[in-house]
Chains A and B, each alone.
Chain A
């Protein structure tokens, strides 16, 4: 009973020299499963991360994913609570907010927009003491975007800095 041509009993039946392959395969499957687990643990986004800063006169809370991927849509919500009246509330965003990221909508529309030393300033107008202003920005990540981004936000009353919030985001391919 001849073995079919091209095959040997040692290698193709007894699998000599191939003993470690199932282990290698299991390790690779585990590696793949590990990546999926990291995905479940939000390493690749896009769970919302909220961060806040406050002073005696105002409080700012930013809720937005800090891990996003190319092509996805996401929302950033800015809650500004005025403990004392803010005459001309202005949210100033680090330009990375819009670097390789398309801004689809801003609601409610700011009273004015400007560049403040290269940063994006959105003037929201007056916020009476005790009131809250919510600003929603909706984005889509450009597919070519990649890497770390600053999500720093400053809150001004006119030209006076009220508070700053330091955040970072990462854009996965």
Chain B
């Protein structure tokens, strides 16, 4: 029983942390972020399984995480007002070539980072961008002028 409760707590804690750290951190996967992710995974695993090395423990913990993933995803799909809480919402950060400073600041994205994201999409100048949208995944999608 404990392992299911611990896995449930860990699931919602990780969900809570990923929602409050903001999308900027989710999108950037620098070497440091990658190591941090592995560290968090390790810390969570220790808290969930502790000294349980059994296959039963693996099935219970893994199964709990899987079921909760489906439940949360289904909840987000079926209950519209849960979506902003569980997934967040997109934010427009560039309109007609003009960066929207307030929205960038709110998501702790500098102009330099915005330009870098644009370059990764093969866009060399903001003038070419009609819309840039910070998606719920933390990535910025660009729609170029036609």
Q: Which residues of A contact B (CB under 8 A)?
A: 1, 3-4, 6-7, 9, 11-13, 15, 18, 22, 25, 28-29, 32, 70-71, 143-144, 173
Contact = CB atoms under 8 A, between A and B. Distances in A.
B89 interface: yes
Given A12-B92, A13-B100, A32-B20, A3 B131 contact: yes
Given A12-B92, A71-B51, A4 B20 contact: no
Given A1-B96, A3-B131, A71-B51, A13 B103 contact: yes
Nearest to A146: B2
A11 B50 CA distance: 44
A12 B91 contact: yes
Contacts, number: 47
Main secondary structure of the interface of A (DSSP, over half): loop
A7 B51 contact: no
A130 to B, nearest CB: 44
B138 interface: no
Contact of A4 (B46, B51, B143): B143
B50 A71 contact: yes
B95 A13 contact: yes
A25 B92 CA distance: 19
B106 interface: yes
Contacts of B95: 13
Interface string B50-63: 11100000000000
Contact of A12 (B22, B51, B96, B133): B133
